[in-house]
Structure 1
Amino acid sequence: MGVQGLTTLLDNTPQIYREVRFGRSRLLIDGCNLLHLLYFKSGLDQNRGGQYAAFEDLLEQFVAALTDCSIAPYVVLDGGSDPTDKKLRTVTQRAERRIQKAHQAAAGGTEERLLPLLTKLVFRQTLARLKVPVAQCYGEADQEIAALAIEWQCPVLSNDSDFFIFELPGGLLPLTHFRWEAVEQSGSHRYIPCKSYNTSSFCIFFNIQRQLLPTFAALAGNDYVKLQWMGKFISWAEFAPAGSPAPRHLQGLLYWLKDFEKPHEALKAVLEMMGELNKQQKAEVLESLTLGMDEYELPPSSLKMFFIHGVAPAFPAEEEVAGHVPDWMRLPLTQARLNGAILDVLLLHRVRLGILVDHGDMPSAQLTSRPLRQVMYGLLLGRRKHRVVEERDRDGLQLKYIPVRPIVEGLIQQLARSSLHEAEPSDRLQVLLEALRVTQDSLSRLPPQLRLPVAVTCYWLREAQPPPDETLLKALLLGLTYGDTQRHSAPSQTLQKLFKPKLDMDVVHAFNQWQACLNDTIHLNQLLGCPLPEPQIARLYKGTLVHQLVHMMRTGGRFKGLVKGDRSSARLYQTMLSVVHQLHRQEMSAPTKTQKNETGPQRQPLEDLTPNLKKLFFQCDDEETVTEVKSALRAQEDLYLEQMLSVPTRFRTKERNNRCNNPEISRKEECRGWDVL
């Protein structure tokens, strides 16, 4: 982001910074910048699906350090893409580089600074739980952050070099120099040691006029100005004084700008230096440079009323956003309860899909969840002729825009975008369940917080290619079951430290597909007003743990230490596995009436038999009969679980007999469900 090389220039001239003891103040935080720096600086996993719980812990520590120093944080996030497409070329080039990096990471096991897919969701969920004020902009956040910082006279925390250009009265606190892990104390006040940057110090040091900073950024080339062919006419490095530190092209440009007072004087001189261009070409150069300079002209803040009074900003009228985006979406978008990509669908009919660490020979993991996104497109765009959404995704190692048609069928046809938030909860739930092809009854045996993840797992088991095997399924469900309960336990920590298995690209690809399905289901669930509870990702899924479980299961590892004494979690695992198997078998078989007649007598399912047994239990007063009914119920439940889990009956019978005959065995083998491994 921002002016390339500017951060390096400032690091090579440290006298521009001022050492400060920061505390007792508001602080505006560039959320996307903080997210990336915290994750990458911590050394957390990037290639095995992420360490979301560890990232949540890190974010909690960061917020605690701010609170300890009486710092009031306000986090601002990017939203949708710029509707004018001014940065389309830059954004596309970055996506192409990420595809290459993702392949390199997968093929060589290197870390290429690629965020695991669900990291941003963990970031938002954690800040919401910690009650940190968060605002998601309709577009990019830089201008909104700078505008509010000017009104509040408070500093900005970011590493984005664009903030070196904005004139911020409270200054900029670069994240790389913000030592939040080393809180210090002076008297009764605690503070964070850090460095502060101010444009006045920069201009004094390089002896240029303050009003020329936007001109400097545009001529150096920022996200909006890419003049690759300028080098044919001008080499700014030639103007750098002898002995200037790197980057020399920025040193030379700043030295050249010393002779000018006004921006238009500098632009005129640049055009004269490019004398070989014709009149039209010079006009295009001038327009591009002016556009780049205009990005540093700040409008009044639109977030102040939101942070203080909870009032969402109006949609930008000049971009005709209001005509395409329902008014009811303003508040949930600003609160980050709706994904900013919704604006891309509505305004650009285009969406950028995340690039995951995956081998270039594999198909994109995002293909698996495309039907879920098609449902979301149908809700947002409705039944409009010739309407498609272009999905930016990889095809091999190439970046492509793939036209995808919205799905508008069933209940979706009856739900209008303008009143979607007012639709009956049962209808909104039904749309979600039909997209995942599960039923409400099938999920009723599960705790509310696991219904959406298990429904996603059923969808993944059916749609993923190649189809996940039983080991992958069991490892995933074990991770979902024990990930949170064992979060801080010694066995879990020991397991994660014991080994880091080599990347298995089949495993990586399978779980990439699951994460893509979960990500898109959560976004669809949000759009529908959360008919299913949104799971807390950091407490649900740990990519490294699931990869370790797969490795251990395939190499004959033992798990008893991981779950010893946790009978409730073992039963929860059993329940999830039986629900997934049941739904998968129903989906795969679904016999017709003719097939049912030809197959002869069928075993009566548990859901049909159990009510009859319970009815008998409540109608009977005889103690002996009651005991028999209770035994029948328990036997039927055990039989049902054994059928779902494919456990040999004689092993189950032997185990139950041993439990009855020896209470010590019962005490030692609390985690009965673990035997299904």
Structure 2
Amino acid sequence: MGVQGLSTVLDTHRQIYREVRFMRSRLLIDGYNLLYLLYFRSGLDENHGGDYAAFEDVIERFITALRDCRITPYVVFDGAFDYKDKKLETATERAEDRIRKAHQAAVGGMKQHILPLLAKLVFKQTLVRLEVPVAQCYSEADQEIAALAREWQCPVLSNDSDFYIFELPAGLLPISYFRWEEVERSGSQRYIPCLSYSTSSFCIFFNIQPKLLPTFAALAGNDYVKLQRKGLSISWAQFDPTGRETPSRIEGLLCWLKAFEQPQEAVEAVLGMMGELSRKKKVEVQQSLWLGMQEYQLPPSSLKRFFIHGVAPKFPVIEEVKKIYILPSKSYILNVLLRHQSRSLSLAVGHSDLPCACLTSRPLRQVMYGLLLSGGKSILVVEPERDGLQIKLTRVQPTFNGVLWQLALDSLDKVKAEPSERLQVILEALGVTEESLKHLPPQLRLPVAVTCYWLQKAQPPPDQTLLKALLLGVSNGDTLRQREGNEHKALVTISKKIVGKYNLDMVLAHSFSQWQICLKDSIHLNQLLGCPLPEPQIAGLYEGTLLHKLVPIMRTGGRLKSYLKNDRSSVKLYQTMQSILHQFYIQETSTPTETQKKVTAPQQQRQALDDLTTNLNQLFLEDEDEENVTEVKSAVRAQEDLHLNHLLSVRTRYRSKERNNRCNKPELTRKEERRGWDLLCGPEVQLSVRNQQEPSNCTSLIKTIKVMKKKKNFYGSSFRTRYF
């Protein structure tokens, strides 16, 4: 973003900057700029769905470093995508460039700086949890940040070269030179060593008038002015006085500007250098240049009252929108209201031949459009989507039916919008019921509902291995976050090494990308409705690199113990989620005919027993016999605690031996509390076994147990299976 080529010139002339010890100050932060720099420069995963727990750790360390130096951060994000279309052409080019890079990353395996789908949510959730003041502008944030920095006399932290043009009294701190990981001490004070930039130093070095800086930015080419596309570009490199073999376009322009005192003089000289132009063409060029220059004129700050008093600035085009209430600060909402367009393109690393992953969650966005546009039947929303390596715009009809008829944008903040109605909207959109989610912890109700939706809508449909891996990741999701210090860093390092051994599975990556986009859009819909479901914390919920390890391990029959938590709560959580998803699948599947039932029932039973056999084999551990017995019983007990009606019960014959062991060997009792997490068989297996009418139908299961009994160091006691 910003002025093309300016950062390179400044890196060449480092003497323009000055060394500072930054501490005891307010700091205005360009939110999205910091987000990208923190993620990409931390060496985190980009191609396997994101290292969200590790990213959360980076954000926490960054904020801690600031506060240790008594620096108060204020983070400001861009809002609606340029609703006046001043940057439409630039944004389209960047989106298509990201599409090509996402494809290259999938095929070649190299990092192409494609931000994982949920990284923005993780960033914002972490800032809110750390109580960092956050604001989101209605439109571009650059002017608002610069205006408040001027009023507060504090610096701006960003790598956007537009801030090299704004007149900032306390200067700009480029993120590239902000060494926040190297906090130093001077006496009792801590500070962050960094470089500071000021427009006065720049103008003195290049000997130009400060008032000409906006003219320089427009002529150099920024996001608003692209003269070269009109065939009107000037070769500024010819004015470079250095005589280098490869002259600098930027330095040539700066040298040319030395001859002028006023912006108008420079603009007239430029028009004269463009040869014979029609009057219409001259007016067009002049207007384009003035438009680019006006972007650096600072209005009074509207953010100060928001940060100090919590008063949001007035909506900029309220006369164009009849019904407004205090919206969640989301750019997609503003785009829909202002332009009837959804500008955001959810893009993940993936092969261009696969369909756009964002198509899966389009029905969810249609519900949002219905709420935002109050059911206007004649209104269509324009959505971008990836079509191969290109962008395609599609007109989408908002959904406005069912309980949505009773809700609209102007009623969501009123008493008549009952919580039950809000909840019903999102549950209907996801195709689940409140009853089906009641056994889950509140934080997991939305993710599990999203998973039900994903199972129904994803193309191609995810297989059981993907589903089990996802559930295992969710039930063990806080493992990475709970690990501290070197243990955490070592785990992240191991994760990267193991993932690196596997080529990117295109179908796997595409399927999990669909799940992430469904979750993101569901969170947005939930926020619009006032959060009738608790918002999940992404960093402890989903870990892309972990899932890309689990799936190939599970497909090849590998052991999972070293990757998962070994406590009963994780087992219970896993089994609860799988039970809900199984019941959802049964309800969504059409009822087969009696003939189909007779044909498929034996096959389902055999498949269920085969799945159970595989899961029992995963329990093979080289421990003492009695410990293995205890492990199996603990797995069963973890299932019984769910109070489900269909359970597989496996018990030993020797209950007295168990009681004696508990008395004589208390270490086994303690170990029992940690066992059972390996039992990965789902409710479909349990239900199949429960429905067996005769013990003879489980012959293969009994044979399997007998074979396993004979293995060395395995179950030493005799077993019997009880059917009910």
TM-score (norm 2): 0.83
In 2, distance between residues paired with 1:25 and 1:322? 39
In 2, distance between residues paired with 1:66 and 1:577? 43
In 1, distance between residues paired with 2:677 and 2:637? 15
Q: How does 1:248-397 map to 2 (within 5 A)?
A: 248-316=248-316, 320-324=317-321, 326-329=323-326, 332-333=328-329, 339-351=330-342, 352-397=344-389
Distance 1:19 1:474, change over 3 A: same
Deviation, 1:552, is: 1.2
Q: Confirm or deny: 8 A CA contact 2:103 2:350 kept in the other structure.
A: yes
Cα shift readout 1:143-176 (whole Å, capped 9, x = no counterpart): 0000000000110000000000000001000000
Q: Does 1:429 align with 2:423?
A: yes
In 1, distance between residues paired with 2:126 and 2:676? 34
Match of 1:62 in 2: 62
Match of 1:610 in 2: none
Match of 1:627 in 2: none
Q: Confirm or deny: 8 A CA contact 1:421 1:528 kept in the other structure.
A: no
For 1:402, the aligned partner's letter is: T
Match of 1:98 in 2: 98
Distance 1:101 1:83, change over 3 A: same
Secondary structure of the 2:384 match is: strand
Distance 1:37 1:414, change over 3 A: same
Q: Does 1:411 align with 2:403?
A: yes
Q: Confirm or deny: 8 A CA contact 1:375 1:406 kept in the other structure.
A: yes
Deviates more, 1:551-560 or 1:353-362: 551-560
Q: Confirm or deny: 8 A CA contact 2:567 2:676 kept in the other structure.
A: no
In 1, distance between residues paired with 2:233 and 2:442? 65
Q: Confirm or deny: 8 A CA contact 1:659 1:666 kept in the other structure.
A: no
Deviation, 1:219, is: 0.3
Deviation, 1:420, is: 1.4
For 2:457, the aligned partner's letter is: E
Unaligned ranges ≥5, structure 1: 334-338, 600-632
C-alpha RMSD of the superposition: 2.7
In 2, distance between residues paired with 1:516 and 1:290? 40
Cα shift readout 1:586-638 (whole Å, capped 9, x = no counterpart): 11146899x99xx9xxxxxxxxxxxxxxxxxxxxxxxxxxxxxxxxx989958
Distance 1:270 1:656, change over 3 A: farther
Match of 2:684 in 1: none
Distance 1:349 1:123, change over 3 A: same
Secondary structure of the 2:54 match is: helix
For 2:7, the aligned partner's letter is: T
In 1, distance between residues paired with 2:97 and 2:496? 32
Cα shift readout 1:157-198 (whole Å, capped 9, x = no counterpart): 000000000000010000000000011111111110000000
Deviation, 1:479, is: 0.6
Q: How does 1:430-469 map to 2 (within 5 A)?
A: 430-469=424-463
Secondary structure of the 1:344 match is: helix
Deviation, 1:671, is: 3.3
In 1, distance between residues paired with 2:85 and 2:9? 29
In 2, distance between residues paired with 1:349 and 1:199? 39
Secondary structure of the 1:73 match is: strand
Match of 1:553 in 2: 554
Secondary structure of the 1:676 match is: coil
For 1:416, the aligned partner's letter is: A
Deviation, 1:533, is: 0.1
Match of 1:586 in 2: 587
For 1:7, the aligned partner's letter is: S
Distance 1:86 1:247, change over 3 A: farther
For 1:499, the aligned partner's letter is: I
Distance 1:78 1:654, change over 3 A: farther
Distance 1:326 1:27, change over 3 A: farther
Q: Confirm or deny: 8 A CA contact 2:28 2:149 kept in the other structure.
A: yes
Deviation, 1:25, is: 0.5
In 2, distance between residues paired with 1:589 and 1:229? 57
Q: Confirm or deny: 8 A CA contact 2:2 2:161 kept in the other structure.
A: yes
Deviation, 1:353, is: 2.0
In 1, distance between residues paired with 2:583 and 2:383? 34
Q: Does 1:672 align with 2:676?
A: yes
Deviates more, 1:483-492 or 1:263-272: 483-492
Q: Confirm or deny: 8 A CA contact 2:476 2:565 kept in the other structure.
A: no
Cα shift readout 1:325-366 (whole Å, capped 9, x = no counterpart): 644225x42xxxxx2210101111111222111100000110
For 2:562, the aligned partner's letter is: G
Q: Confirm or deny: 8 A CA contact 1:159 1:174 kept in the other structure.
A: yes
Distance 1:283 1:636, change over 3 A: closer
Give the count of matched residue pairs. Answer: 629
In 2, distance between residues paired with 1:242 and 1:639? 77
Distance 1:380 1:214, change over 3 A: same
TM-score (norm 1): 0.88
In 2, distance between residues paired with 1:481 and 1:156? 41
Deviation, 1:640, is: 8.0
Deviation, 1:542, is: 0.6
Cα shift readout 1:625-657 (whole Å, capped 9, x = no counterpart): xxxxxxxx989958986958xxxx58x456998
For 2:378, the aligned partner's letter is: H
Q: Confirm or deny: 8 A CA contact 2:53 2:539 kept in the other structure.
A: yes
Q: Confirm or deny: 8 A CA contact 2:9 2:250 kept in the other structure.
A: yes
For 1:103, the aligned partner's letter is: H
In 1, distance between residues paired with 2:669 and 2:240? 80
Deviation, 1:391, is: 0.6
In 1, distance between residues paired with 2:322 and 2:2? 29
For 1:329, the aligned partner's letter is: I
Q: Does 1:123 align with 2:123?
A: yes
Distance 1:85 1:225, change over 3 A: same
Secondary structure of the 1:675 match is: coil
Distance 1:233 1:577, change over 3 A: closer
Q: Does 1:496 align with 2:491?
A: no
Unaligned ranges ≥5, structure 2: 601-635, 682-724
In 2, distance between residues paired with 1:635 and 1:41? 43
Match of 1:571 in 2: 572
Secondary structure of the 1:305 match is: helix
Q: Confirm or deny: 8 A CA contact 1:257 1:266 kept in the other structure.
A: yes
Deviates more, 1:15-24 or 1:490-499: 490-499
Deviates more, 1:551-560 or 1:161-170: 551-560
In 2, distance between residues paired with 1:547 and 1:222? 40
In 1, distance between residues paired with 2:44 and 2:246? 31
In 2, distance between residues paired with 1:326 and 1:246? 57
Match of 2:625 in 1: none
Match of 1:536 in 2: 537
Match of 1:8 in 2: 8
For 1:159, the aligned partner's letter is: N
Distance 1:162 1:233, change over 3 A: closer
Q: How does 1:204-215 map to 2 (within 5 A)?
A: 204-215=204-215
Distance 1:642 1:529, change over 3 A: same
Q: Confirm or deny: 8 A CA contact 1:183 1:193 kept in the other structure.
A: yes
Deviation, 1:129, is: 0.5
Q: Confirm or deny: 8 A CA contact 1:12 1:245 kept in the other structure.
A: no
Cα shift readout 1:424-450 (whole Å, capped 9, x = no counterpart): 000000000000010001000000000
Q: Does 1:517 align with 2:491?
A: no
Distance 1:68 1:322, change over 3 A: farther
In 2, distance between residues paired with 1:292 and 1:666? 73
